Structure 1
Amino acid sequence: MKKIAVLLSVFMLILSACAPKFEKEEEIVQQTDNKQQKAIIPKYNISDSYYRTILPFSPGEARGLVVENLNTRLDVAEFESGLMRIAQERFSPKDYLFQEGQYLNKKTVESWLKRKLTKEQLKEKKMDESENVGLNPMMSDEGTNEEKNKKSPIYLAHIMEHDYLVKNNDEKVQLGGVVIGLAMNSVHYYETEEGYPREVEIEQEVIEREGKRIAAEVLSRLRKIKGLKEVPITIALFKQQPATSIIPGHFFAVTHVDQGSSSIDDWEEVNEQYYLFPSDEAEENHRDDMMKFLNFKSDIDEFFPNYTGVIGRAFYRDDQLQQLTINITMQFYGEAEVIGFTQYVTGLVMEHFPDYINVNVYISSASGPESLIIRKANEEQPFVHIYQ
């Protein structure tokens, strides 16, 4: 009865806290080159860590390519959300508005992602050197397809642009900075002449070297685009995971280029990493955190015989655990069992994991999502939702 009362109080808190306070939007003028247009800034912001988006919404010119070019849905989500996280170091959500990239269109991104063509290929395609804009290494004409791919793998998987807008002294909104994400392959996939799938693992040292080389060329090209000659530009390098991975990749380096500069002076290390719980890698590098997870998992195993799986995805920044996402798959036989199990797991979350980390628990069955538990860092009460 005590657990039910606690859960009901949590639900009441959620209902009262989650009702948004709607305020009148702010009407402004957006300055784009020599053009001006009316726009709206939403007053309500769901979190201080999220950027407000200027309205009407302007889709990015290369929208949708990220899904085609990255290996997994996890990489797609982390590449975009992580790029926003990096942007906050230079462009505060309090002062800047977010807009999808408006300068790199689909055709440009697709052409930059190609291999650089050889002189023979240019001649065959009747193209001149100015059109030879591929950022990935050219493929040699000699050797088997396997030999050529091993020697010259595809390094750059995707380019993403985010624009950040800011008010000027005339209360007009204009471009205040650009953030570019370069997604680098950790594995290059290809086929032999006979059509057999093959892969080449790319060493971290090579990924870093090629990423920084490509970043310098991208910066040079950006400065030649109308509207980007003077704005501050941030470029971040992302290492995507193999296609079989169940954890996302991570950013590993970032550079901030000052207004008007066309050169990269230095790079900063981005110390981020995802770990799978349980795994040998997590046990070796973060044993204490994984033991907390294993004790949590053990308590579920002991009291619920229908248990089928508990998997954790831990996000570390500067070697400190920031967020733990747990997926639990169960076989349920009724609504009462879902409620009882969710109550029990909520208690375990509060008991096993320190309050300085964010914990998200997704409980599902063969029928789909069953319930959700979110415990934000330093909050006494979790958010609990049972799907109807």
Structure 2
Amino acid sequence: MHLGFVTSEYPHPRISRAAGIATSLKNLVDALVRRGVEVSIFVYHEKEDAVFTEDGIRFHLLKKRHYPILGWYRYRKHIAAYVNKFVRSDGIDAIEAPDWTGITAFMKLDAPLVIRFHGSDTYFCYLDGRVQKWKNKFFEKQAVKRAVAFIAPTTFAGQESAKLFGLPKDKVTTIHYGLNLADFRNEDPSEFTKYRLLNIGTIIRKKGVFQLAEMFSKLVAVEPRAELILIGSDSGDMKTGSESTWEVLQSHFSDEAKKRVKYVGKIPYSEVKQHIRDAHVCVFPSLAETLGMVTIESMALQKVVVNTNYGWAEELIDHGVNGYKADPNDTDAYVKIITDLFPSEQKTLEIGKAARTKIEKVFDMEKIVQTNIEFYEQIISR
């Protein structure tokens, strides 16, 4: 089997962007290659045109191009022509692309196209209650029309996406993101910094950062030893027009809470893992996700996670067993959960251990990769 992946991001020094899709894609691709599947990755919007092979993966970098008119259409046609060249010459059996902004709209590919619902603009605007740009909505709908099958990382994300794009629910297959568990080890879970909270993700409203600021301000008032570490890229704030959500966010912390918050920005992934190990509790009150990689990564490292209770989290956490869920707008509930955890190291370790067990059972990439292979075998044999 030879699979091709069209993407705008991937974790590699020569590739300019690597966000949430990149992490989940790399986990899958590495596992596919270990199973003997050939993989070609086509990365668009790059700074250069290049082709190279590394770790058994064939990389194709496609330089971003500018056209005097209809650039969105002509660049898509350029990508399609390039991909089709290698579909024919290298025998690529199927192509996968993300839903975000509908990159495969107007592409006629010479292999079956599968779209993975990582989280379209349509989906996130729906969850956020925002008005969507007509262009993004149009492109994403056109892209969906071109696909023969769809994958979603949670049943919730799949069902909501099917509803938004007018697809029958049985057209979307749920296949969770997975982790290579050998890369997520915590040799001594009892070694952590007491009272330290950790949040990982882009500083943006949809991640619930303003709810987090309110919650932490309340927490510090009852437990002044609490501290909060924030990790992730800053972003512009659509509501205020500020170029920095972090600058806006700071005014939402109480004066005492400000003294106990540290924003470290974007850091190497190896350092992120150590921050997870050091944390007492990981807090992710996100308002919009399809799954949330940082949640399962933290659970794999035997951390207590306090997550949102919105639909996608239902498949991640069993409340009170291997983590906790609460409405992001109910900040008092978060404070109650955390203050109950702080005094009890035994409870912290028990929940963390159960979290690892849940990840081993449901999100182990060595199991999930086989599900992906079987899915693609069915697509190719049609």
- Between Structure 1 and Structure 2, the one with more strand by share is 1
When Rg is computed on C-alpha atoms for both structures, the one with the higher figure is 1
- Between Structure 1 and Structure 2, the one with more helix by share is 2
Is the pair's TM-score, using the shorter chain for normalization, greater than 0.5? no
TM-score (norm 2): 0.30
